[in-house]
Amino acid sequence: MIARVRILIALAAFATVGCNFAQMGVSRVDSRLAAMVPADTIGLVGIRMDELRAAPLYQKMVSLQRLTQFDELAAQTGFDPRTDVRELLIASNGKDNALILARGTFHIRAAQGAKKSAYQGYTLFMREEGGVGIIDESTAVAGKPASVRAALDQFKSGRSGADPDLLARARSIGAENQMWSVSKGFGGILDRAMPDSGNAANVTKILSALENITAAVDVRSGVKGFATGLCRNDQDAKNLGDAARGMVGLGRLSVPENQPQMLRVWDGIKVEQQQRTVKINVAIPQELVDKLVEMVGSGRGVRPGAGRY
């Protein structure tokens, strides 16, 4: 149970679940950040840090020191997303490169070993493995040295390299979501990250059928979110939908008898499949989110065989 709880909390916290597309507005993709997205990007993740910081889930995770990724980011870049950043846009090519684009009010603290230099009129703080480029006091880019310089070149030229489809899907996401993600599928990411045999290989095969994924999450009150995947054909979508329903069913079976309220977590996950599209909707009330965070924070687990069978 505890492993599944950790997965669920991670998904809730980092933009892989959400609610139905909202009619109350569309996502604000900052144009200055979008102007630096590389042409080979296959996935974008957006996080509105100013709104996320106000959410109960974020505050609880911080109090439990469960957001160590932000500690690592601060150490690597010299700016702290928990205090300096208003909006993050992360672009990935699905291989070996991720570019972190940020808007905020920056008080750059050079990371240990970083050297300050000038490039194309911008300021760099670089180490051999990477660093940050400062466009102005409100705009920064972090990543590998060559990628940062390429992003600054692109920004200066005024020519956007971003895939219009990715940006269009990002801008279609409801503005009430603090976190969102759009991608062209898992592709090579899974090929490198997952084993080529056993159950993990079967999961890889199913997920590789996805042509694109759109997801978002709103954590202002509980967790409400969606993840929508477009598959190559109807049969692939059916296989993926069946696999997702099976995972939810196994989750229900894993709930310990002394924690029946946890069944409501799995009841809040709905899987829909229509032709080539699979959609997972998640709605978990705040009191259950608090319970999940408490379980993760305490490190409580269950004995094998302690669930409902």
- Give the pLDDT confidence of 175-190 residue by residue, as tens digits: 899 999 999 876 544 4
* pLDDT for the residue 199: 54
Asked whether the predicted pLDDT for residue 160 surpasses 70, the reply is: yes
Non-local CB neighbours of 213 within 8 Å, separated by 6+ positions: 181, 182, 183, 185, 186, 227, 228, 229, 230
Which amino acid does the sequence have at 212?
Answer: N
Report residue 65's pLDDT band, with 50, 70 and 90 as the boundaries: low
What is the reported pTM? Answer: 0.79
* pLDDT for the residue 269: 95
User: Mean pLDDT over all residues of the chain?
Assistant: 79
Q: What is the mean pLDDT of residues 277-296?
A: 88
Give the residue carrying structure tokens 């660093």. Answer: 131
Asked whether the predicted pLDDT for residue 196 surpasses 70, the reply is: no
CA-based Rg of the chain, rounded to a whole angstrom?
A: 20
Who has greater pLDDT, 14 or 275?
A: 275
* pLDDT for the residue 3: 37
Who has greater pLDDT, 265 or 129?
A: 265
Q: CB of 240 within 8 A of CB of 230?
A: no
Of 76, 188, 204, residue with least CA distance to 141: 76
Non-local CB neighbours of 148 within 8 Å, separated by 6+ positions: 99, 124, 126, 130, 131, 132, 133, 141, 142
Give the residue carrying structure tokens 């829909």. Answer: 272
Q: How far is CA 212 from CA 1, 43, 111, 141, 187, in A?
A: 30, 9, 36, 26, 10
Order of strands across the sheet with 269-274?
A: 115-119, 122-126, 131-136, 139-143, 98-104, 85-92, 43-47, 179-183, 210-218, 223-231, 277-284, 269-274
Of 108, 188, 96, 171, residue with least CA distance to 141: 108
Helix, strand, or coil (residue 99): strand
Greatest mean pLDDT among 13-22, 78-87, 228-237 lies in: 228-237
Q: Cα–chain-centroid distance for residue 114?
A: 28
Asked whether the predicted pLDDT for residue 249 surpasses 90, the reply is: yes
Which amino acid does the sequence have at 285?
Answer: P
DSSP-H helix ranges across the chain: 2-13, 31-34, 49-52, 56-63, 68-77, 145-157, 164-171, 187-193, 198-207, 234-253, 263-267, 286-298
Please state whether beta strands 98-104 and 122-126 pair in parallel, antiparallel, or not at all (unpaired). Answer: unpaired
pLDDT, tens only, 292-304: 877 766 655 443 3
Asked whether the predicted pLDDT for residue 37 surpasses 70, the reply is: yes
Asked whether the predicted pLDDT for residue 172 surpasses 70, the reply is: yes
pLDDT, tens only, 92-141: 988 877 899 999 987 666 555 778 899 999 999 888 888 899 999 899 99
Q: What is the mean pLDDT of residues 152-176?
A: 91
Report residue 43's pLDDT band, with 50, 70 and 90 as the boundaries: very high
Asked whether the predicted pLDDT for residue 237 surpasses 70, the reply is: yes
Who has greater pLDDT, 11 or 221?
A: 221
* pLDDT for the residue 159: 86
Burial class (CB in 10 A: 0-12, 13-18, 19+), 196: exposed
Helix, strand, or coil (residue 86): strand
Report residue 219's pLDDT band, with 50, 70 and 90 as the boundaries: very high
Name residue 131's beta-bridge partners. 126, 143
Q: What is the mean pLDDT of residues 203-210?
A: 73
Taking the C-alpha atoms of 61, 295, 45 and 48 in order, what is their torsion angle to the nearest 10 degrees? -30
Asked whether the predicted pLDDT for residue 14 surpasses 70, the reply is: no
Lowest mean pLDDT among 31-35, 127-131, 151-155, 253-257: 127-131
Of 256, 262, 249, residue with least CA distance to 303: 256
Asked whether the predicted pLDDT for residue 272 surpasses 90, the reply is: yes
C-alpha 271/C-alpha 277 separation (Å) is: 11
